[in-house]
Amino acid sequence: MARVDTADQSIQPRSGPILQLIAAGLQVWIRSQCEAVQSLELQLHGTALQLLRGQLQGVSLSSQRVVYRGVAIESVNLRSEAIQVKLAALIRSKAVELGHPFIVRGQVAFSAGGLRETFRHSRWRALGDSLAEQLLGITPLADLRLTQDTLIFSAHAAGKGLELEQETRPCALEGSVGFFSLDGALKLRLPMDPAIKIESACVQDGTLKLQGEALVSP
Protein backbone atom coordinates (compact mmCIF):
# COMPACT_ATOMS: atom_id res chain seq x y z
CA MET A 1 0.00 0.00 0.00
CA ALA A 2 1.37 3.42 -0.91
CA ARG A 3 0.49 6.81 0.49
CA VAL A 4 1.13 10.26 -0.94
CA ASP A 5 0.39 13.48 0.93
CA THR A 6 0.50 16.66 -1.11
CA ALA A 7 0.85 18.80 2.01
CA ASP A 8 4.54 17.92 2.07
CA GLN A 9 4.78 16.26 -1.38
CA SER A 10 6.20 13.10 0.24
CA ILE A 11 5.78 9.48 -0.82
CA GLN A 12 6.65 6.87 1.77
CA PRO A 13 9.88 5.18 0.65
CA ARG A 14 8.79 1.74 1.89
CA SER A 15 5.97 1.58 -0.65
CA GLY A 16 8.18 0.34 -3.52
CA PRO A 17 9.07 1.96 -6.85
CA ILE A 18 5.99 0.88 -8.82
CA LEU A 19 3.55 2.01 -6.14
CA GLN A 20 5.49 5.27 -5.72
CA LEU A 21 5.27 5.90 -9.47
CA ILE A 22 1.54 5.23 -9.63
CA ALA A 23 0.86 7.25 -6.47
CA ALA A 24 2.75 10.21 -7.94
CA GLY A 25 0.92 9.85 -11.26
CA LEU A 26 -2.47 9.70 -9.56
CA GLN A 27 -1.55 12.75 -7.52
CA VAL A 28 -0.82 14.70 -10.72
CA TRP A 29 -4.06 13.51 -12.34
CA ILE A 30 -6.27 14.37 -9.34
CA ARG A 31 -4.74 17.81 -8.92
CA SER A 32 -5.22 18.46 -12.64
CA GLN A 33 -8.96 17.86 -12.21
CA CYS A 34 -9.30 20.45 -9.40
CA GLU A 35 -8.93 24.22 -9.23
CA ALA A 36 -7.54 24.02 -5.68
CA VAL A 37 -6.48 21.37 -3.16
CA GLN A 38 -5.20 22.34 0.27
CA SER A 39 -4.14 18.83 1.33
CA LEU A 40 -4.45 15.39 -0.22
CA GLU A 41 -3.63 11.90 1.03
CA LEU A 42 -3.79 8.78 -1.14
CA GLN A 43 -3.59 5.12 -0.25
CA LEU A 44 -3.18 2.56 -3.03
CA HIS A 45 -4.58 -0.93 -2.45
CA GLY A 46 -3.17 -3.90 -4.35
CA THR A 47 -0.24 -6.26 -4.81
CA ALA A 48 2.89 -5.87 -6.91
CA LEU A 49 1.69 -8.58 -9.30
CA GLN A 50 -1.65 -6.84 -9.80
CA LEU A 51 0.12 -3.55 -10.44
CA LEU A 52 2.37 -5.14 -13.04
CA ARG A 53 -0.83 -6.26 -14.78
CA GLY A 54 -2.09 -2.67 -14.70
CA GLN A 55 -4.65 -3.18 -11.97
CA LEU A 56 -5.29 -1.71 -8.52
CA GLN A 57 -7.75 -3.09 -5.97
CA GLY A 58 -8.69 0.50 -5.28
CA VAL A 59 -7.63 3.92 -4.05
CA SER A 60 -8.57 5.68 -0.80
CA LEU A 61 -8.53 9.47 -0.81
CA SER A 62 -8.78 11.99 1.99
CA SER A 63 -8.60 15.68 1.18
CA GLN A 64 -9.31 19.10 2.68
CA ARG A 65 -10.43 22.41 1.15
CA VAL A 66 -10.99 21.26 -2.43
CA VAL A 67 -12.46 23.31 -5.28
CA TYR A 68 -13.73 21.10 -8.11
CA ARG A 69 -15.51 22.68 -11.08
CA GLY A 70 -16.32 25.70 -8.96
CA VAL A 71 -17.69 23.64 -6.04
CA ALA A 72 -15.90 24.51 -2.78
CA ILE A 73 -15.73 21.37 -0.61
CA GLU A 74 -14.55 21.40 3.00
CA SER A 75 -13.52 17.74 3.18
CA VAL A 76 -13.59 14.62 1.00
CA ASN A 77 -13.24 10.97 2.04
CA LEU A 78 -13.55 8.46 -0.81
CA ARG A 79 -12.74 4.85 -1.67
CA SER A 80 -12.75 3.60 -5.25
CA GLU A 81 -13.49 0.19 -6.68
CA ALA A 82 -10.82 -1.63 -8.72
CA ILE A 83 -9.02 0.55 -11.27
CA GLN A 84 -7.19 -0.34 -14.47
CA VAL A 85 -4.01 1.67 -15.03
CA LYS A 86 -2.09 1.90 -18.32
CA LEU A 87 1.44 1.20 -17.10
CA ALA A 88 3.10 1.79 -20.46
CA ALA A 89 1.76 5.35 -20.58
CA LEU A 90 2.73 5.89 -16.92
CA ILE A 91 6.32 4.80 -17.47
CA ARG A 92 6.60 6.85 -20.67
CA SER A 93 5.07 10.12 -19.46
CA LYS A 94 4.91 9.75 -15.63
CA ALA A 95 1.18 10.56 -15.86
CA VAL A 96 -1.62 8.14 -15.08
CA GLU A 97 -3.99 7.03 -17.85
CA LEU A 98 -6.98 5.10 -16.57
CA GLY A 99 -8.35 2.19 -18.58
CA HIS A 100 -12.07 2.54 -17.89
CA PRO A 101 -14.65 4.40 -15.80
CA PHE A 102 -14.87 3.38 -12.15
CA ILE A 103 -17.09 3.93 -9.12
CA VAL A 104 -16.03 5.90 -6.03
CA ARG A 105 -17.98 5.90 -2.77
CA GLY A 106 -17.71 8.08 0.30
CA GLN A 107 -18.60 11.38 1.90
CA VAL A 108 -18.12 15.07 1.12
CA ALA A 109 -18.75 17.90 3.59
CA PHE A 110 -19.51 21.58 2.97
CA SER A 111 -19.11 24.56 5.28
CA ALA A 112 -21.39 27.60 5.10
CA GLY A 113 -18.51 29.58 3.59
CA GLY A 114 -17.95 26.90 0.96
CA LEU A 115 -21.61 26.93 -0.04
CA ARG A 116 -21.54 30.73 -0.39
CA GLU A 117 -18.39 30.54 -2.49
CA THR A 118 -19.93 27.87 -4.71
CA PHE A 119 -23.15 29.77 -5.44
CA ARG A 120 -21.23 32.99 -6.11
CA HIS A 121 -19.17 31.20 -8.76
CA SER A 122 -20.24 32.03 -12.32
CA ARG A 123 -20.83 28.34 -13.03
CA TRP A 124 -23.37 27.93 -10.20
CA ARG A 125 -24.81 31.43 -9.65
CA ALA A 126 -27.86 30.74 -11.84
CA LEU A 127 -28.60 27.59 -9.85
CA GLY A 128 -28.41 29.51 -6.57
CA ASP A 129 -30.80 32.14 -7.91
CA SER A 130 -33.16 29.39 -9.11
CA LEU A 131 -33.17 27.89 -5.61
CA ALA A 132 -33.99 31.30 -4.14
CA GLU A 133 -36.84 31.74 -6.64
CA GLN A 134 -38.33 28.34 -5.81
CA LEU A 135 -37.89 28.62 -2.04
CA LEU A 136 -38.51 32.32 -1.47
CA GLY A 137 -40.21 33.62 -4.58
CA ILE A 138 -37.50 36.24 -5.23
CA THR A 139 -33.95 36.42 -6.57
CA PRO A 140 -31.02 36.68 -6.34
CA LEU A 141 -29.87 34.36 -3.58
CA ALA A 142 -28.32 36.62 -0.93
CA ASP A 143 -26.91 34.22 1.65
CA LEU A 144 -26.71 30.67 2.98
CA ARG A 145 -26.34 29.77 6.64
CA LEU A 146 -25.96 26.50 8.50
CA THR A 147 -27.31 25.90 12.00
CA GLN A 148 -26.63 22.73 13.97
CA ASP A 149 -29.05 20.74 11.77
CA THR A 150 -30.63 23.02 9.15
CA LEU A 151 -29.71 24.99 6.03
CA ILE A 152 -31.16 28.50 5.70
CA PHE A 153 -31.58 30.26 2.35
CA SER A 154 -32.14 34.03 2.28
CA ALA A 155 -32.81 36.77 -0.28
CA HIS A 156 -33.57 40.51 -0.13
CA ALA A 157 -36.95 41.86 -1.20
CA ALA A 158 -36.06 44.73 -3.54
CA GLY A 159 -37.29 48.15 -2.40
CA LYS A 160 -38.81 46.81 0.82
CA GLY A 161 -35.74 46.51 3.01
CA LEU A 162 -36.79 43.00 3.98
CA GLU A 163 -34.79 39.78 4.08
CA LEU A 164 -36.79 36.63 3.42
CA GLU A 165 -35.59 33.29 4.77
CA GLN A 166 -36.45 29.64 4.30
CA GLU A 167 -35.09 27.15 6.85
CA THR A 168 -34.72 23.65 5.41
CA ARG A 169 -33.55 20.16 6.30
CA PRO A 170 -31.68 18.45 3.43
CA CYS A 171 -32.38 14.74 2.87
CA ALA A 172 -31.46 12.20 0.21
CA LEU A 173 -34.26 11.95 -2.36
CA GLU A 174 -34.26 9.71 -5.44
CA GLY A 175 -30.48 9.85 -5.79
CA SER A 176 -30.35 13.61 -5.29
CA VAL A 177 -30.83 16.10 -2.43
CA GLY A 178 -34.28 17.24 -1.38
CA PHE A 179 -34.91 20.31 0.78
CA PHE A 180 -37.77 19.97 3.27
CA SER A 181 -39.33 22.65 5.43
CA LEU A 182 -39.34 22.10 9.18
CA ASP A 183 -42.92 20.78 9.00
CA GLY A 184 -41.77 18.02 6.62
CA ALA A 185 -43.10 19.47 3.35
CA LEU A 186 -40.86 19.02 0.30
CA LYS A 187 -39.77 22.40 -1.03
CA LEU A 188 -37.56 21.36 -3.94
CA ARG A 189 -35.22 18.68 -5.28
CA LEU A 190 -31.72 19.67 -6.37
CA PRO A 191 -30.77 18.90 -10.00
CA MET A 192 -28.06 16.24 -9.95
CA ASP A 193 -25.46 14.98 -12.40
CA PRO A 194 -26.64 11.50 -13.53
CA ALA A 195 -23.16 10.14 -12.72
CA ILE A 196 -23.72 10.98 -9.02
CA LYS A 197 -26.07 9.14 -6.65
CA ILE A 198 -26.71 10.67 -3.21
CA GLU A 199 -27.58 8.10 -0.54
CA SER A 200 -27.56 10.30 2.56
CA ALA A 201 -27.79 14.07 3.10
CA CYS A 202 -28.01 15.99 6.36
CA VAL A 203 -26.68 18.93 8.34
CA GLN A 204 -24.67 17.87 11.39
CA ASP A 205 -22.87 20.26 13.73
CA GLY A 206 -23.16 23.11 11.24
CA THR A 207 -21.78 21.14 8.28
CA LEU A 208 -23.68 19.83 5.24
CA LYS A 209 -22.70 16.19 4.70
CA LEU A 210 -23.48 14.17 1.58
CA GLN A 211 -22.78 10.46 1.24
CA GLY A 212 -23.09 8.40 -1.92
CA GLU A 213 -21.29 7.24 -5.04
CA ALA A 214 -20.13 8.66 -8.35
CA LEU A 215 -19.00 7.29 -11.69
CA VAL A 216 -15.59 8.71 -12.64
CA SER A 217 -14.83 8.73 -16.37
CA PRO A 218 -11.19 9.12 -17.47
- Regarding whether 186 and 125 lie in a shared domain, the answer is yes
- Regarding whether 60 and 37 lie in a shared domain, the answer is yes
Q: What is the mean pLDDT of the chain?
A: 85
- Regarding whether 165 and 84 lie in a shared domain, the answer is no
If one counts the domains in the chain, the total is 2
Q: What is the pLDDT of residues 32-54, one digit of tens each?
A: 989 999 999 988 887 777 777 77
Residue 107 lies in a domain: no
Residue 105 lies in a domain: no
Residues in the chain with pLDDT < 70?
Answer: 1-16, 87-97, 99, 159-161
Domain around 88: 2-100
- Regarding whether 140 and 45 lie in a shared domain, the answer is no
> Which pLDDT score is estimated for 216?
86
The three state secondary structure string of the chain is CEEEECCCCEECHHHCHHHHHHHHHHHHHHHHHCCEEEEEEEEEECCHHHHHCCEECEEEEEEEEEEECCEEEEEEEEEECCEEECHHHHHHHCCCCECCCEEEEEEEEECHHHHHHHHHCCCCHHHHHHHHHHHHCCCCCCEEEECCCCEEEEEEECCCCEEEEEEEEEEEECCEEEEEECCCCEEEECCCCCCEEEEEEEEECCEEEEEEEEEECC
The Cα-based distances of 66 to 10, 13, 74, 108, 110 in angstroms read 19, 27, 6, 10, 10
- Regarding whether 128 and 34 lie in a shared domain, the answer is no
- Regarding whether 123 and 58 lie in a shared domain, the answer is no
Residue 106 lies in a domain: no
